[in-house]
Amino acid sequence: MGESRVAIVTGAARGIGAATAQRLAKDGHAVAVLDLDESSCADTVTRITKDGGHALAVGADVSDADAVNAAVERIAEVLGPPTILVNNAGVTRDNLLFRMTEADWDTVMGVHLRGSFLMTRAAQKHMVAAKWGRIVNLSSTSALGNRGQANYSTAKAGLQGFTRTLSVELGQFGITANAIAPGFIATEMTRATAERVGVSWEDFQQGAAAQIPVRRVGQPEDIANTVSFLTSEESGFVSGQVIYVSGGPGRR
């Protein structure tokens, strides 16, 4: 096991974020489990604590600058300076372009792009001071283009540019920044998509699996495993990369 650090995982009440928070705790880090409501983080925190890990529930909307700054300062005071950040919080507001509202667009940009910007700006000063840091941003195969997701695919492609620029600006301080672009992962997000298009969850997963080279859908742990590597000591020469974790080369 590597050195113990303080990690922040946004959107960690459930899904990929919850699995990632649990994995980073197993890796020996103290983990701030951040989501919209502090109370929604209780399950993830309990699971980590039961496994002998150390976690703190933090409520904050990542698109709200004041809330983000207050949250990161509280984390630094309670757990210590955060030097690992996983920008995972996300939402979808899918619609074909001609039906997409300004609110659909702004909400998705606000959480993914503004949220990752605000969290990273607040956390990087602790990483710079420590001369060590690991930033992982959650992109998506949708960055390559996906019907009904003009807002989401734009945000996820934007996060790839954000990641590359972070790696360029922060590398000299011992900080790496990488993006993970998941394909189909079985979570509440994809379950909601199945519901929206009127397909049963089982059929939806089977249909997706048939299109994926490894013939299965992804699980949150598939992403958590990749985050674990990208936040480890050993990954220090990997930066500015986008890793597609999608059971194949890119498209799911």
Ligand X SMILES: NC(=O)c1ccc[n+]([C@@H]2O[C@H](COP(=O)([O-])OP(=O)(O)OC[C@H]3O[C@@H](n4cnc5c(N)ncnc54)[C@H](O)[C@@H]3O)[C@@H](O)[C@H]2O)c1
Catalytic residues, by residue number, are: 152
Residue ranges of the alpha helices (H) in 51-144?
Answer: 65-78, 102-109, 115-130
Tell me the closest approach of the beta carbon of residue 130 to ligand X, in angstroms: 24
Asked if 140 is part of the footprint of ligand X (rule: CB under 6 A), the reply reads yes
Question: Which residue stretch of 15-23, 49-57, 75-83, 119-127 sits at the interface with ligand X (rule: CB under 6 A)?
Answer: 15-23
Asked if 17 is part of the footprint of ligand X (rule: CB under 6 A), the reply reads yes
Q: Residues 6 or more apart from 204 whose CB is under 8 A from it?
A: 190, 193, 194, 197
φ, ψ (nearest 5 deg) of residue 58:
-135, 125
Asked if 104 is part of the footprint of ligand X (rule: CB under 6 A), the reply reads no
- Rounded Cα gap, residues 67 and 56, in angstroms: 16
Asked if 117 is part of the footprint of ligand X (rule: CB under 6 A), the reply reads no
Measuring CA to CA, which residue among 187, 100, 90, 170 is closest to residue 130?
Answer: 170
- Rounded Cα gap, residues 72 and 116, in angstroms: 13
Asked if 15 is part of the footprint of ligand X (rule: CB under 6 A), the reply reads yes
What are the C-alpha distances in Å from 48 to residues 24, 43, 101, 105, 187? 10, 9, 39, 35, 19
Tell me the closest approach of the beta carbon of residue 196 to ligand X, in angstroms: 13
Total residue count of the chain as it appears in this document: 252
Closer by beta carbon to ligand X, 43 or else 235: 43
The footprint of ligand X on this chain (CB under 6 A) covers a number of residues equal to 27
Question: Which residue stretch of 1-9, 95-103, 182-190, 229-237 sits at the interface with ligand X (rule: CB under 6 A)?
Answer: 182-190
Question: Which residue stretch of 50-58, 82-90, 161-169, 195-203 sits at the interface with ligand X (rule: CB under 6 A)?
Answer: 82-90
Is the distance from CB of 131 to CB of 173 less than 8 angstroms? yes
Tell me the closest approach of the beta carbon of residue 132 to ligand X, in angstroms: 25
- Contact footprint for ligand X (CB under 6 A): 10-11, 13-17, 35-36, 61-63, 88-91, 111, 115, 138, 140, 182, 184-185, 187-190
